[in-house]
Structure 1
Amino acid sequence: MSEFRAKDIGLRVQKKLASKISNKTVARTLLDDATSQILDNLFKLCKGVTGNKKESEKVIKNLIKVVVKVGILNKNDQFDHDEMVLAAKFQRKFQMTSMTIISFYQIDFSYDRSFITQSLLDMKAMLTKLVERHLTDKTLSRIEHVFTFFREPRFLDAVFARNSEHRDLLGKITKDLNTILEASEDDAS
């Protein structure tokens, strides 16, 4: 019989709560303003591209659940040394992918679907490896769902097309990405 530990119980409760709190109002209380704003704009972008409100909500809810759970694991020092190395690698890949998305927005004819698709595949693999020891198969399927949605060729092409009707939203998202990147640079210093 394993020993009772309040910290373990607390962590399980936090993870359980994280799976219950996927609406945007609750997410705003747990996430900073830039992250909340980017999630709101991603929802609008997903809905605008797909025309499917229900699927767009599901993608963003899954994304919120994953972000919150990873944050809880990190806050509670649940990652071992190798996982922390992987988390740092994931963070660098996220930053590089974010900068690439920003450049796709700012520089005409720079969009490269295969590059962004591969970046998203790499990030999905890293994130899955990072959390597979800690989270359920249901959460792993949420990760799969989010990354599959965002690397869908029709979605990417619609977002990054030269005269995309989604350009204004993409501009807001890139502004938010810049804010997040600047904050992570400040945290690193």
Structure 2
Amino acid sequence: METFNSKEMALKAQKKILSQMASRSMVQMFIDDNSSEILDELYRVSKEYSGNRSEARKVVKDLIKVVVKIAVLFSHNRFSDEELKLAQTFKKKLHQGAMTAISFHEVDFTFDKAVMSEILKECRDMLLKLVNIHLTPKSHGRINHVFNHYSDPELLTQLYNPSGPLKPHLTKICNGLNKLLEDGTL
């Protein structure tokens, strides 16, 4: 049986970013246990949807790299006041996305792939604007890869299929999102 551990992948990403400064405790600052569980479920969704383990690894690895890089930028106060306002708008949109995802999961027959896809695309665009001058084009490509993958209407349709094989993953993702909302992380 294959094992996938997003914390290990996050540690690898941080090592690359921070070279000799990387430490396991520093990664745990950026990606907690609950977030790690959500990432693991996102990996499983991608793997089952695409049937491609390496693509699933790549998309989650890209997500972890982006999260760690943005966290490093925040922790080093690299964003201007205007960018911090944009970051707050991004966080609100992400919060809206989480609430929408949970609502679509909890209330039968409410799922709308166009709505969910559009929220994710808006998040992508805001994030790209936020990191525009701070991250390389390669990192911008990673952001596009992650958001384009998870905003795919067909993936979302399969994920929200009430009798589909991805439903248990959606339940775990939504439970994790609920925890992030409850503790104010999202």
Q: Which TM-score tier does this pair reach, normalised by the shorter chain?
A: 0.7 to 0.9
- Residue pairs, 1:41-120, within 5 angstroms: 41-120=41-120
Larger relative contact order (Cα-Cα within 8 Å, sequence gap ≥ 6):
1
CA RMSD of aligned residues (A): 2.0
Worse overlay, 147-156 or 134-143: 147-156
Aligned to 1:150: 150
For 1:33 and 1:75, the matched residues in 2 are separated by 20
- Residue pairs, 1:102-181, within 5 angstroms: 102-181=102-181
Does the Cα contact within 8 Å between 1:15 and 1:72 map onto a contact in 2? no
Write out the 4+ residue segments of structure 1 that deviate beyond 6 Å after TM superposition.
Answer: none
For the pair shown, which has the larger CA radius of gyration, 1 or 2? 1
Tell me how far 1:126 sits from its aligned partner: 0.3
For 1:63 and 1:18, the matched residues in 2 are separated by 17
Does the Cα contact within 8 Å between 2:30 and 2:71 map onto a contact in 1? no
- Alignment deviations for residues 143-184 of structure 1 (CA, whole Å, 9 cap, x no partner): 001111011121111101122211111111101001111122
For 1:87 and 1:177, the matched residues in 2 are separated by 19
Residue ranges of structure 1 left out of the alignment (5+ in a row):
1-13, 20-25
Q: Taking structure 2 as the reference length, what is the TM-score of the superposition? A: 0.84
Matching residue's letter, 1:37: E
For 1:78 and 1:15, the matched residues in 2 are separated by 20
Report how many aligned residue pairs link the two structures.
167
For 1:124 and 1:30, the matched residues in 2 are separated by 20
Q: Taking structure 1 as the reference length, what is the TM-score of the superposition? A: 0.83
CA 27–141 in structure 1, closer or farther in 2 if over 3 Å, else same: same
For 1:182 and 1:77, the matched residues in 2 are separated by 26
Does the Cα contact within 8 Å between 1:28 and 1:36 map onto a contact in 2? no
